[in-house]
């Protein structure tokens, strides 16, 4: 399928499926590999080829030469960017999809933003269930523990108390549809974190759609990845 590309001011590049009609859109939040790595753009192209608009949003630091720190990121900016995407004439509804650190970020947006969000649903792949400290590229390259330290990755003015490193992500506060996925052999974040997020949603009366892929790592292999996209597309269509 032919896809197009436009720029949404203050948001990023919007990948568009062929045609002129309004479609659902997905805002994509990258992981600690950084916005310049190209993974979130690959995801956006896949979604656009299947009939959804998609915008990979860059947060944190880094450039095309390498990932940068994820520190002091203002989470309140994410809903604001979402509203800019919704202003595009081809966008009917908007969903949020986060991968790895972006999955954690998506969970924070849902937990803190609650019902006052522009997203019809939230999906997260391989997300943490508690607040992870800042990602510091120098510490990562030196082999130091990524889950240590007190420097904050995230802020939300007036709501920073929920973002102290180690605090549980209270995703049960989010009332909308949620999709969670993870592999049982995830080598980055223990897949039990995703199970705990799912349990918090169930306890709040909002059971998520959950897919736990047996034997899969942080990134699914190419034989399994198509099923993940199939499940995501189905979820977004129903959300």
CA-CA distance, 111 to 106, in Å (whole number)?
9
- The beta strands (E) that lie in 61-213 are given as 62-63, 66-67, 73-74, 91-99, 122-125, 154-155, 178-183, 209-213
Q: Which residue in this structure is represented by tokens 């919007």?
A: 14
- Tokens matching residue 48: 């656009």
Q: Are 81 and 49 in contact (CB under 8 A)?
A: no
pLDDT reported for residue 106: 98
The SS3 call for residue 67 is: strand
pLDDT reported for residue 171: 98
Which listed CATH number (3.30.390.50, 3.40.50.1820, 3.30.565.10, 3.90.1170.40) goes with 3-238? 3.40.50.1820
Among 140, 157, 128, which residue's Cα sits nearest to residue 218?
128
Give the distance, in angstroms, between the CA of residue 10 and the centroid of all CA atoms in the same chain. 18
- Tokens matching residue 226: 């198509």
pLDDT reported for residue 33: 87
Q: Are 110 and 178 in contact (CB under 8 A)?
A: yes
Q: What is the largest CA-CA distance in the chain?
A: 49
pLDDT reported for residue 136: 76
The alpha-helical segments, DSSP class H, found in 87-135 are 101-113
pLDDT reported for residue 114: 82
CA-CA distance, 82 to 196, in Å (whole number)?
27
- pLDDT tens, residue order, the chain (239 aa): 689 999 999 999 999 999 999 999 999 999 988 888 889 999 999 999 999 999 999 997 766 666 778 899 999 999 999 999 999 999 999 999 999 999 999 999 999 998 889 999 999 999 999 999 998 777 777 666 555 567 899 999 999 999 999 999 999 999 999 999 999 999 999 999 999 999 999 999 999 999 999 999 999 999 999 999 999 999 999 99
């Amino acid at each position: 399928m032919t896809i197009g590309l436009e720029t949404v001011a203050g948001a990023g590049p919007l990948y568009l499926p062929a045609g002129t009609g309004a479609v659902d859109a997905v805002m994509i939040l990258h992981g600690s590999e950084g916005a310049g790595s190209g993974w979130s753009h690959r995801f956006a192209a896949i979604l656009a080829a299947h009939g959804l608009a998609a915008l990979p949003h860059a947060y944190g630091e880094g450039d095309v030469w390498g990932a940068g720190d994820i520190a002091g990121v203002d989470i309140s900016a994410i809903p604001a960017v979402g509203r800019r995407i919704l202003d595009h004439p081809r966008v009917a509804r908007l969903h949020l999809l986060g991968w790895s650190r972006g999955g954690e970020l998506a969970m924070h947006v849902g937990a803190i933003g609650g019902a006052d969000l522009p997203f019809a649903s939230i999906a997260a792949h391989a997300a943490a269930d508690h607040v992870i400290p800042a990602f510091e590229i120098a510490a990562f390259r030196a082999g130091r523990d990524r889950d240590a330290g007190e420097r904050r990755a995230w802020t939300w003015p007036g709501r920073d108390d929920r973002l102290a490193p180690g605090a549980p992500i209270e995703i049960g506060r989010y009332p909308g549809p949620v999709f969670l996925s993870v592999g049982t052999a995830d080598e980055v974040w223990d897949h039990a974190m995703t199970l705990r997020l799912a349990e918090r949603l169930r306890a709040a009366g909002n059971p998520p759609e959950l897919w736990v892929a047996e034997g899969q790592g942080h990134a699914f292999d190419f034989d399994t990845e198509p099923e993940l996209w199939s499940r995501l597309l189905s979820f977004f269509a129903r959300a």
